[in-house]
Structure 1
Amino acid sequence: MEEAMAYRDIVVYLDVGEDCAARVRTAIDVAVKHHARLIGVDVSTREALEGESRDLARAIEAEFAAAVRKAGLDFQYHAARPEARTAEQLFSHCADLLVTTQPHPDHRHLSNPAIPKEILTTAGVPMLVLPTGWTGQKAIGEHVVIAWNFSRESTRAVHDSMPILKAASKVFLFVFASNYRDTNQDVQEIKAHLEHHGVEVVLAGWRNTGENDFTSALFAGLDRENADLIVCGAYGHSPLFEDMFGGATRDLLKNISMPVLMSH
């Protein structure tokens, strides 16, 4: 029987930045693992199309098509208008997962400024954000950490990432709370819910004693668990979602080594 929740259409955003090739490699890996169609959306700006990078911009479609054909995937390609800003104009609505990279400060002018933050908060689709400098050589989704705080956003992120969680070797549930205990009823309820979906859960909670903030505690746990992906909710409408845990969303998006799957 086909799974009710599965990734069937994955959008990867394409540009002339040096991180694009690795982004496509990772998107292909995810699409192959989940038997999905890969949709490349060219989000080059007018400056990229008309400036020194014009020849690179013109080659985006051919390079994407060659890489996806080599992987044996079904695919589509779309070129978004440089002035596109909405989720509809950026082909985000008809997808189960969006893949992009944290903007590189030196190449930000070459890629649509609505990605990632505006599209993540308006599309209603989870987004896999890869760190700047990501090489695409490492697999993701084997050891996953869920940053959980019982909110609507983290609930949405868990359900949106369920195909990845079910395929993972290990899933760690990270909770940061002053009264944290493994035996707390609310912790046991989310653990049981995930296990009912076939997800094997390891509790990795952290009691907040005031000595560490959420982000420091999370990253200490990531080092310990050898994680390769964070799943979390995206909070707020301020730049880079600074409202989450006092700025933890911003910190996660600025992290230079860890992919993050976010839902709003």
Structure 2
Amino acid sequence: MAYKTILAVLDTPQNARQITDFGMALAEQFSAHLIGCHAETLAAVPLIAPMEIPDPAAMQVLQEVAQKETAEVQRMFADQARREGVSTEWRSFMSSSGYGASTVMETARTADLILASQSDPSHADHRADLETFLFESGRPMLLIPYTMKQPRPINRVLIAWNGSREAARATFDSLPFLKAAATVEVLVVDPPDRANQNSQLAGTEIAAALARHGVQVSVTSHESAGGSPAQIIDSRLSDKGVDLLVMGGYGHSRWWEMLFGGVTRNILDTMTAPTLLSR
């Protein structure tokens, strides 16, 4: 198993070069085809008060700004593609719903992996509708911290394991990374006692399954002792110099501000390592 089609979400000029660089590195590592994707949102119709008449001049200005951004992002992607020589393709979309459009979703669902940047709080317009991709594409998403500008090898992987469907999806979706990594740690925080399994054995079954794939895997069980699971994961990321975090994407709200409740949201707000999420 390997990633053969990677979709790079280039939603703003601010992160286009970063995500293109990461996409090129992954495409080279897995001999994959890289698709650069940018969705241009049609400008909403401005109105002139009090008669509420559409203002065509203002609408044209807004659309020209959006088209200029699309051209800039495409140029960055094309320039890098020429230098790297990997298999690439450019796709741009224009619709009123941006990244939530059905045409964009159709492209996302044909990818082995979606690559995107963590939201940068200094850019209020950074809205790639990542929740739509994660919840409706059915594909794993690799989020890159906005502070990480250069790709680096993924040698150490941490799996945040709680036995859920989402965690299982993320773990097996990450197999190409796990098989290439030097070490993989399955981290279980506050494992519950179950009728058929002692809490001390939590994580051993998934570790055994991964070992059959040739993954070099270990299991760590940790008690939070009043702290939060997110704090435990963050501490483990720092202490072990982890290159990739693998975890399930949890939540039900469609709005980004409310989507990633609890552990997932806390991790994404403070992420220090690339994070692979599956839903």
| Aligned 8 A contact 2:144 2:275 in 1 | yes
Percent of counterpart pairs with the same letter?
Answer: 29
Are positions 1:193 and 2:200 aligned together?
no
Bigger shift: 56-65 or 66-75? 56-65
Other-structure match for 2:125: 109
1:1-264 matched pairs, under 5 angstroms: 5-46=1-42, 50=63, 52=65, 54-83=67-96, 84=98, 85-86=100-101, 88-90=103-105, 91-109=107-125, 111-112=127-128, 114=129, 116-135=130-149, 137-178=150-191, 184-209=200-225, 211-238=226-253, 239-240=255-256, 247-264=262-279
Secondary structure of the structure 1 residue equivalent to 2:90: strand
Q: TM-score with structure 2 length normalisation? A: 0.82
Counterparts of 1:49 and 1:161, CA distance in 2? 40
Cα deviation 1:119-159 (Å, max 9, x = unaligned): 10000000011122331x24152211100000100000011
Corresponding letter in the other structure for 1:32: E
Pick closer, same or farther for the CA change 1:129–1:19 going to 2, 3 Å: same
Q: CA deviation at 1:253?
A: 1.5
Other-structure match for 2:52: none
Secondary structure of the structure 1 residue equivalent to 2:14: coil
Q: Which has the higher helix share?
A: 2
| Aligned 8 A contact 1:37 1:74 in 2 | yes
Where structure 1 has 5 or more consecutive residues not aligned to the other structure, the ranges are: none
Counterparts of 1:87 and 1:52, CA distance in 2? 23
Aligned residues: 255
Pick closer, same or farther for the CA change 1:183–1:117 going to 2, 3 Å: closer
Tell me which structure has the larger Cα radius of gyration.
2
Q: TM-score with structure 1 length normalisation? A: 0.86
Counterparts of 1:123 and 1:86, CA distance in 2? 11
Counterparts of 1:71 and 1:58, CA distance in 2? 20
Aligned-residue Cα RMSD (Å) equals: 2.7
Counterparts of 1:225 and 1:123, CA distance in 2? 32
Pick closer, same or farther for the CA change 1:240–1:250 going to 2, 3 Å: farther
Pick closer, same or farther for the CA change 1:242–1:147 going to 2, 3 Å: farther
